[in-house]
Each structure stands twice: as structure tokens, then as C-alpha cells.
């Protein structure tokens, strides 16, 4: 039996994650690379256990799930939390529905959401400080023991009204990535490098990317102008909290996203609106993962509605 199924599209996605992988090591130490390796090993073994019974090869898409899942974890994530979440993602979100191409929800997002709810202390209470030196953390296993562990990310403190981000904070923190957060998505610059590759090679759907980013940016800026608190405005909202990573790598998942043009537009707008509401007006600081799962749930309905509207329009024209 062939062990691994070649998927050129998935290899391009893996290639696009490399800037974020490099950034995770540079900012938080070599433990980040070990987290990614353990995650990929766990997803491979989990999928292999199912594929062996069906006499099918493991898909290369499983490594995309493993890498994306690892990149949105805290740099200090305990090993048992990491493994439990990613095994859940493959076994219960992907293989339980029949394997590749049949899952309703994005496995990486669902796995992250599962451990976020089950292990809230490990996922939200402590954060490793980002390395500030010119060599970053390239000479360190982890930055967790260098300085005091922060109790909240700057984005969470900004939401609580305890700090306000200056132009310098936005550039050095949110854009370049020198800010506490999940290990691979603090730098908007690195995300844009990889995301730009997905966009220009048409590996990721452009409609989804443009719609979700534009909708989220416009809504944040309008509400900010109207004085609605704690909405921060378009720039910090789009650059912070890993939003761009989700927009390029997770919203665009071809399996869990709608397949029609109208469905994709509605899907991306739904995710943008839910993210704004959850991130700013709920107890959760990061609403994107919940919003993507909500979008996944309504994806088939949105496709059905888009096709029905198209058929209605054709009937009226005839």
C-alpha cells in the first residue's frame, strides 16, 4: 500500500507557511520547531491508523493541518495539550466524517478550539515574551524562562482598555512581530509573505481573502469612527490577533468553505462580522476561530442559497 498521497496544492500551502515557521523560531526559540514537528508526527500517526484500515494512503493535507494547528498555539503549550488537540482534529473532525474531502469543519481550527475550551489556563493565562535582540531567539530553546511571563497579550490588554497601541507599537509589534502571542502568527509581515504566495499562485481563493479582510477592516474602521468601544480601528484589528493568518490559511480551506461565488462572499462576510462581535464584545479575545467554525456550519446552506438564487434568476430571465 502506498504510504503517502501526493497533493501538489497542499505542498504549496506548506511552502507558504515557512515564513511563519521561521518567525516562530526567531521570536520564541527552537522549541517552536519541536512543537511543529510533534504536531505533524501526531497527525500522521492518527490519520495512518484510519487509512490503514481503509487501505488508503495518508494525504499530504494532514501535514497542513499539523503545521497550521501548531502555529496558532502558545509557545509554552504543554505537550499533552498539543497532542490531544491535534489528535481530536484528525480523528473526530476529519476521519469521523470519512477522511479527506468530507469534513464539514476545518480540522486545525476545530482542534485549536477544542483545547482552548478544555485547557483554558494552558491556552490563555500565560504567554512567553518575544525575543528582542537582533539575533532573536536563535540561540535559545525557549524564551519562556528569560523574562517574566506575561499574563495577557497586548491585544487582550488593549481590548480591556489598559493600553493603547501607538504607531511604533503597531509597526514593531503587530507588523514585524515583536509581540507576545501564539508562536507563528504574531508577524503580519511574515503572514503576508506566505499569504501573498497563496494569493498570486491562486492556491487560495481570492474572493474569500479579499472579502473577509475588506469587510472586517471597513466594519472596524466605521465603528471606531462612531466611537464604539473597544473597537480599535481597521489597522490594529487586521494586523493583530492572527487575523491575517486566519484569512489567508484557514478561511480559504477548500473543503470546509463554500464552492459557489455567492456562497463564498456571504461566507467571508459572515466570518468577518462574527469575528468583530466576538473579539470586541464577548469574554473571548480571539473570535476568529469561533467565527470560522460558525462559517463552516453555514457553508453548505450558503452554497444552496446561492445556487437557488442563480436558478431563480435564470427562470425569470427565460
* pLDDT tens-place string over residues 23-46: 999 999 999 999 999 999 999 999
Amino acid 149: pLDDT: 54
Distance CA 299, CA 308 (A): 14
Tens-level pLDDT at each residue, the chain (318 residues): 577 888 999 999 999 999 999 999 999 999 999 999 999 999 999 999 999 888 889 999 999 999 999 999 999 999 999 999 999 999 999 999 988 889 999 999 999 999 999 998 888 777 788 888 888 899 999 887 655 455 556 566 666 555 566 777 787 778 988 888 889 999 999 999 999 999 999 999 999 999 999 999 999 999 999 999 888 889 999 998 789 999 999 999 999 999 999 999 999 999 999 999 999 888 877 789 999 999 999 999 999 999 998 887 665 555
Residue 185's nearest CA partner among 241, 134, 130, 132 is 241
Distance CA 172, CA 122 (A): 27
Are 33 and 26 within 8 A, CB to CB?
no
pTM of the model: 0.92
The average confidence (pLDDT) of the chain is 89
Amino acid 163: pLDDT: 53
Q: How far is CA 305 from CA 105, 134, 212, 261, 300, in A?
A: 19, 52, 19, 11, 9
Are 198 and 248 within 8 A, CB to CB?
yes
Amino acid at each position: 500500500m502506498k504510504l503517502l498521497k501526493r497533493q501538489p496544492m497542499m505542498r504549496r500551502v506548506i511552502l507558504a507557511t515557512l515564513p511563519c515557521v521561521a518567525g516562530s523560531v526567531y521570536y520564541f526559540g527552537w522549541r517552536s520547531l519541536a512543537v511543529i514537528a510533534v504536531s505533524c508526527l501526531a497527525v500522521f500517526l492518527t490519520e495512518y491508523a484510519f487509512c490503514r484500515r481503509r487501505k488508503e494512503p495518508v494525504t499530504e493535507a494532514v501535514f497542513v493541518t499539523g503545521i497550521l494547528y501548531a502555529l496558532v498555539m502558545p509557545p509554552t503549550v504543554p505537550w499533552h495539550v498539543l497532542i490531544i488537540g491535534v489528535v481530536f482534529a484528525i480523528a473526530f473532525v476529519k476521519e469521523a466524517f470519512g477522511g479527506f474531502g468530507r469534513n464539514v469543519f476545518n480540522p486545525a481550527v476545530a482542534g485549536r478550539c477544542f483545547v482552548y475550551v478544555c485547557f483554558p489556563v494552558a491556552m490563555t493565562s500565560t504567554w512567553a515574551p518575544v525575543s528582542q535582540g537582533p539575533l532573536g531567539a536563535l540561540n535559545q530553546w525557549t524564551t519562556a524562562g528569560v523574562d517574566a511571563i506575561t499574563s495577557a497579550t497586548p491585544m487582550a490588554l488593549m481590548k480591556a482598555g489598559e493600553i493603547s497601541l501607538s504607531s511604533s507599537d503597531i509597526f514593531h509589534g503587530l507588523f514585524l512581530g515583536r509581540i507576545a502571542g501564539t508562536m507563528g502568527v504574531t508577524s503580519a509581515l511574515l503572514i503576508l509573505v506566505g499569504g501573498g504566495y497563496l494569493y498570486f499562485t491562486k492556491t487560495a481563493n481570492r474572493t474569500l481573502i479579499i472579502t473577509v479582510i475588506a469587510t472586517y477592516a471597513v466594519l472596524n474602521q466605521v465603528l471606531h469612527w462612531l466611537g464604539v468601544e473597544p473597537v480599535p480601528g481597521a489597522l490594529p484589528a487586521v494586523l493583530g490577533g492572527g487575523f491575517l493568518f486566519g484569512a489567508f490559511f484557514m478561511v480559504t480551506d477548500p473543503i470546509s468553505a463554500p464552492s459557489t461565488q455567492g456562497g463564498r462572499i456571504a461566507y467571508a462576510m459572515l466570518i468577518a462580522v462574527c469575528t468583530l462581535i466576538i473579539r470586541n464584545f464577548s469574554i473571548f479575545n480571539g473570535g476568529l476561530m469561533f467565527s470560522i467554525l460558525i462559517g463552516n456550519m453555514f457553508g453548505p446552506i450558503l452554497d444552496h442559497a446561492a445556487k437557488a438564487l442563480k436558478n431563480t434568476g435564470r427562470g425569470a430571465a427565460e
